[in-house]
Amino acid sequence: MKMTMTRLGLAALLAASTIGLAGLARPAVDSAAVETAQDPEIFKIDTVHSSVIFKVKHMGVSWFYGRFNDVTGEIGWNGDEPTGHSIKAEIKAASVDTNSADRDKHLRSNDFFDTANYPTISFVSKGAKKSGENRYEVSGDLTMHGVTKSITVMIDHVGTATARGKRIGVAAEFTIKRSDFGMTYGVDGPVGDEVTIFLGLEGLKADR
């Protein structure tokens, strides 16, 4: 009987020790903290306060500027942790505006954007890394005229505010060759191949 009690006592002690070690090996996880670290804030692009402007050389002697009036999408922002940053932007190609109805009609034709067949221009980021104070190197896919190319752009965090809802602003400037996207009309003539794009995006915190 004493032997049985001794064995039972040892078994109980061993079980208690095992439970204690298991408790030490698995500390309580703050699920709220994990969610905060992994889930960036999502901001819906405010079309009214966002700008997409481009410039291209005309006849090799001057810069000509135009813009797109309709841009939508969202900005994902994770504070100082760039791995949580993301940008998804979609532009309606037919919203091109160069202050000339005839020129805009030509740009919408199959000589240029061919908006009937390719109604949208989009950028979807795939990664980001810090490149300086308030500056980030963002890589992703730009799709235009039915062609998708991987590009890398420098994004500046312009600011964050809480007026009329939480807002964030980012800006970028980068250059592409339109011939890379199958738009070759006039490349050897009056319209330059290289196009510089200026983005100024303002996002409003989305309710989710």
85 lies in a domain?
yes
* Span 131-180, pLDDT tens digits: 999 999 999 999 999 999 999 999 999 999 998 899 999 999 999 999 99
> What's the CA gap between 199 and 54, in Å, rounded?
9
pLDDT for residue 12 is more than 50: no
pTM: predicted TM-score of the whole model, two decimal places:
0.79
Percentage of the chain lying above the pLDDT 70 cut: 81
2 lies in a domain?
no
> What's the CA gap between 48 and 98, in Å, rounded?
18
- Output the pLDDT for position 36: 44
pLDDT averaged over every residue in the chain: 85
> What's the CA gap between 188 and 10, in Å, rounded?
90
Instruction: Label the pairing between strands 167-177 and 191-205.
Output: antiparallel
106 lies in a domain?
yes
Q: Among 81-85, 135-139, 189-193, whose mean pLDDT is lowest?
A: 81-85
Specify the CATH number for the domain of residue 75.
2.40.128.110
pLDDT for residue 51 is more than 70: yes
16 lies in a domain?
no
The CB density around residue 179, as the number of other CB atoms within 10 Å, is 12
Count the domains in the chain: 1
Range of the domain at 156: 40-205
32 lies in a domain?
no
Residues sharing a CB contact under 8 Å with residue 147, sequence separation 6 or more, in sequence order: 180, 181, 182
Decide which of 173 and 80 is more confident: 173
| In contact, 157 and 138? CB cutoff 8 Å | no
8 lies in a domain?
no
27 lies in a domain?
no
